[in-house]
Amino acid sequence: MFSDSIKKGANNAPHRALYHALGLTNEEIDRPLVGIVSSYNEIVPGHMNIDKIVDAVKLGVAMAGGTPVVFPAIAVCDGIAMGHRGMKYSLVTRDLIADSTEAMALAHGFDALVMVPNCDKNVPGLLMAAARLNIPTIFVSGGPMLAGRVDGCKTSFSSISEAVGKFAAGTIDEKKLEEYEVKGCPTCGSCSGMYTANSMNCLTEVLGMGLKGNGTIPAVYSQRIELAKRAGMQIMKLIEKDIKPLDIMTEKAFMNALTVDMALGCSTNSMLHLPAIAHECGIDINLDVANGISAKTPNLCHLAPAGSTYMEDLNEAGGVYAVMNELSKKDLLNLDCMTVTGKTVGENIADCVNKDPEVIRPIDNPYSTTGGIAVLRGNLAPDSCVVKRSAVCEEMLVHSGPARVFDCEEDAMAAITGGKINEGDVVVIRYEGPKGGPGMREMLNPTSAIMGMGLGSKVALITDGRFSGATRGAAIGHISPEAAVGGVIGVVNEGDIISINIPENTITLEVPQDEIDRRLANFTPKTKELHGYLKRYAKLVTSGAQGAILKD
């Protein structure tokens, strides 16, 4: 055990003295030292219950013969950060989380880690740290929120955001808006649709780093506490068998994750996070591979915001393993990948049947024969951009219209809610990319306003920023290169025609190439006065097409 190097022998008496200062007994000091990375805080609804999860993990570790020691990880609530400067600090925390966890784990010589994340950047940040550290590690999340109910129908965070647009359009009154506000998010947990947090917790199962149910068991279920205890016990088996993250997160495992991503219809943010996690594993994921996987992977689930089912429904239908079982019927998964269960993917999913074909479509009756995410390219996005195809209405899969250009989210939002966007328009929001934002803000408010005002089947939105998993509609993000580094999106003029063809994976600025070249030659990107962490982040961050990883 690594901790023996700082616990055993006369020379390490000072270390042992500090362990005793913690109240540890000799028996506890002699056991494997298991770090429990707790992202508990009192500002994120998806994290307010994590103290209970951590207590259960500690009990599981102790029952199995380890010594649990808790240390923290930060987490930002994207919903609370949405629509103001706080959102600049969301994506950037992914690297802070990875860096600080690496520092804590190595400084204190832990033999293994149990990661307890839940919301958007917390999960990929800790997966990145797990890859760097490569000591036995298991994940157990805080779990999803239950859906709310308004007028007898299930609702979620995206329903509330769209209600704001309905209120602006005059189709609901203030009393109804307040009802959505009060009833939309009824419990703790990560928001109840297939948004980014739940997408990444589900994909953690697929990668093999979490036990069955990690992504779907609701936060308020006692079964979540049982899962945490089992995770605490299982980490001791991983120590015994010396199974480490890089044994699990192989290239084949990432291909599985991309495949299930397509079947579930996950958040487009997965196209940022999976490449970043893979990078820490020494694996390069070119986003073009996503379209190849999408072409052969049917979309089996339409969870909110794409449809009217929620995480609790997916859990009852058999969860992520049931989806994987369906995919295995057409040999779409690598079944020999190792997982934290100590068994292969094939062994894990063998008996996990689909219990509700309305929630998880059978493999022979999918929502579509292609996957839920599409990567587009064209002269407007030569390095790629991303759309959640499963959440786009049929009539907007192919669209052409005049550009309505805005240099920040706030200006676009004012135009949308002010009734200045017309049917057929393509809203362009630029200078919101990884460098230009900086921090690549999510554009949930503008997309929700478009949907709420009844324009979802008539207006597209493109941005070098990104979208919340709660976004639906023809919302195309991660336009790369971004405006701040001289990308073509920076020289789009008001009224230029933009053509989008999602089935053919193309996006085109309908301007002659010599005119585009002329504009680029005379183009100086706008700059912003930056301070503190954002200044350092903007200097190091790469494009959305590369997962917005940090490089010198």
Residues tagged active-site: 468
Distance of CA 233 to CAs 32, 226, 474, Å? 12, 11, 45
- Longest pairwise C-alpha distance within the chain: 77
Distance of CA 541 to CAs 104, 261, 437, 538, 544, Å? 23, 25, 11, 6, 9
Q: CB neighbours (10 Å) of residue 212?
A: 20
Q: Distance between CA atoms of 466 and 88, rounded to whole angstroms?
A: 11
Residue (of 364, 358, 296, 362) closest to 323 by Cα position: 362
Q: Distance between CA atoms of 427 and 381, rounded to whole angstroms?
A: 15
Q: How many residues does the chain have?
A: 552
Residue type at 67 in one-letter notation? T
User: Which DSSP symbol is given to 474?
Assistant: S
- Strands (E) located in 106-226: 112-116, 137-139, 148-150, 153-155
- What are the residues whose beta carbons fall under 8 Å from the beta carbon of 411, sequence distance 6 or more? none
Residue type at 63 in one-letter notation? M
Distance of CA 550 to CAs 106, 217, 540, Å? 21, 33, 5
Q: Distance between CA atoms of 57 and 70, rounded to whole angstroms?
A: 10
Q: Distance between CA atoms of 373 and 348, rounded to whole angstroms?
A: 26
- What are the residues whose beta carbons fall under 8 Å from the beta carbon of 3, sequence distance 6 or more? 32, 33, 109, 110, 111
- Burial label for 538, CB within 10 Å (0-12, 13-18, 19+), is buried
